[in-house]
Amino acid sequence: MSISNTQISREMPKYKSHKIVHALKIKAIELDTEKAFKEDRETDGGAIIIPIEEGYVPFKVEHAYISKHKPQVGGYYVVYEDGYKSWSPADAFESGYTKV
């Protein structure tokens, strides 16, 4: 039995998100490697994320988060209802979510 190109190249099913998440837009990211170098110590590989939104303090994220998600300034730090933490580019996040 052979598979034709029409079966392989057809469009995948589409899905619409209905999730509610917590998120902060990222103003700056201070990598611990830079701070550790200045303080002459070993790095833990984490970082401090500084949110754009007023009233939110900078917060630490672990090396595993930085390594897995590779967050960038202008994108969003996202926390899902089950506690999973992620990162989303601004365009993707803003086109998929509305503030509630």
What is the pLDDT confidence band of residue 8, given thresholds at 50, 70 and 90? low
Nearest-angstrom CA–CA distance, 81 and 66 = 20
Work out whether the CA dihedral 66, 72, 73, 78 comes out positive or negative.
negative
Task: For strands 21-31 and 85-88, give the pairing.
Answer: unpaired
pLDDT at 12 over 90: no
Encode pLDDT of 47-93 as tens digits.
Answer: 999 999 999 999 999 999 999 999 999 999 999 999 999 999 999 99
| Amino acid (1-letter code) at residue 86 | S
* Percent of the residues in the chain that have a pLDDT greater than 90, as a whole number: 71
Mean pLDDT over residues 21-41, rounded? 94
**Sheet architecture: strand order including 59-61:** 59-61, 47-51, 21-31, 76-80, 85-88
Confidence (pLDDT) at 17:
77
pTM of the predicted model as reported, rounded to 2 decimal places: 0.81
Q: Which CATH class is domain 19-96?
A: mainly beta
Confidence (pLDDT) at 16:
75
Q: What residues have CB less than 8 Å from 51, skipping those under 6 apart?
A: 24, 25, 26, 27, 58, 59, 77
> Is the separation of the CB atoms in 2 and 12 below 8 Å?
no
